[in-house]
Amino acid sequence: MSSPGRPEKQVPVRSLSETAFKEICRQLEQAFTDEKASASFVCGGTIPMVEKLISVYWRNGKHDSQAQVVDLPVPSTGDDGNNRLVHSLVASCEAASFGRNKETVMDPEYRKAGKLELDQFATTFHPADHGILDEIAQNLVRNLDAGNAWLVPRRVEAELYKLNVYSGPSGLFQKHVDTPLSENQIGSLVVCLPSPFKGGNLMVRHNGSEVDFAWEVHSANTIQWAAFYSDCEHEIKTVSEGHRITLTYNLYAKVEASKPPSPVLDARSLPMYGLLKDVLQNPGFMKTGGVLGAFCAHSYPHAYEGVEKLLPQYLKGSDLGLYAVLHALGFKVEVLPVVVMHEGDEEWGYPQCWNPKTSRYKTDLQLNDEDVAIFVGPELKAFDAMFNSGEEDYREESYEKPITWISDPQHPAAAMAHINYGNQAEAGLMYSYATIIAEIPAWNERQLRMQELTETE
């Protein structure tokens, strides 16, 4: 106990030992991994047909002025007229192509399906009429309240894209990733109209997880749907019988100028928030400040210039959650792209960002004891690759402190910015992986912020 009239002696704050720092890094990494595993990347549902039928109108050719119409589902008692119309719809479809790198190709071994373009058909179905967009907003396009500050308020919009038919005995589409058509495209919605078929499962995959939509059982009299992020790999298994008729919609996240609609999730309710707050309340963690970084779980479509302007507005799933948590803690947060890797280019790209041969946790021996830096992987400087008339201009973002990574980058093949297989050829956009970077102030600067957070919660 101190003597009266004499100030208490200030105990100097010591930096964490290497072992303690490594353990905190491991805990943060595990928390982000758990967040990615629990985050939704796909959702779906069913709509039983009760009274109102779904009508599809189409023309046999783009220059045919006479429209035909079929009402679905076809009555189970048998309606030869409607059955003939279903077959007429199938016969009116053109063979569906797909994108292989930058080329549009036809290969029935990879994709065997029919299609109608948007100017060839119309339908009385709209996903908003059945609550589908609300379900998608709840699961895939959440709005987050990051500590009394609305974070990128968004709403979801669906734009009809194509009608596809996969018919037995051999209709299929092998695994692919949808080609991005807009920088604010966040996903795709597939609506399976009521028409009996067998097989044709839709498989959606991301980060090692897979969801199987087996629609054949209720295909005759039920509307079934699935929505997923645009960077998810998916495939359609072989249709052995019948006709699998689907409407495809592109999903867009539109930024709102005012208060976001429901649902709103408080970032402070996420598990990552409590852990990060506890870590940052430790005076010895990044005592003199540092930089915390994470490789995003998702990839994002963007034009060749200006990707930094598009993020964080269109962050998905666990990426948005981590950004919101860091924002709610009151730190400066940026989203920066990973440099694009080109085939045959060894100077730039993925190897420059991450060396898999590097030890899991590495100590930079050139730093003094006050700046102990143990981090996941080697130090990374973030680059924004911009393309103009065939020339490459790189803008470097560097930090005074080494970046402490709490996640691994994706596999090099997945991190490449172009798509090998898509639903169409490249459309002037590309996928790129991004990083979330937060500058952590020194303890003497962040101490007050930590106290304020505790008092207001």
134-181 tens-digit pLDDT: 999 888 987 766 554 445 677 889 999 999 999 999 999 999 988 777
| Lookup result for tokens 């059955």 | 83
Residue 441 has pLDDT above 60, yes or no: yes
What are the pLDDT digits (tens) for 344-370?
Answer: 433 333 323 333 323 333 333 333 333
Provide the token pair at 99. 């994108």
In this prediction, residue 410 carries a pLDDT of 61
In this prediction, residue 210 carries a pLDDT of 93
In this prediction, residue 396 carries a pLDDT of 41
**Are 341 and 320 contacting, i.e. CB atoms less than 8 angstroms apart?**
no
In this prediction, residue 314 carries a pLDDT of 81
In this prediction, residue 178 carries a pLDDT of 81
Among 441, 356, 375, residue whose Cα is nearest residue 18: 375
Residue spans of the domains in the chain: they are 18-40+265-456
Tell me the pTM.
Answer: 0.77
Residue 215 has pLDDT above 90, yes or no: yes
Residue 406 pLDDT level (bands cut at 50, 70, 90): confident
Given CA atoms 229, 235, 237, 239 in this order, what sign does their dihedral have? positive
In this prediction, residue 157 carries a pLDDT of 93
In this prediction, residue 45 carries a pLDDT of 96
What are the pLDDT digits (tens) for 418-431?
Answer: 344 455 545 445 55
Helix (H) or strand (E) holding 92: helix 80-92
**Are 348 and 170 contacting, i.e. CB atoms less than 8 angstroms apart?**
no
| Lookup result for tokens 């709209």 | 126
Among 349, 330, 335, 274, residue whose Cα is nearest residue 307: 335
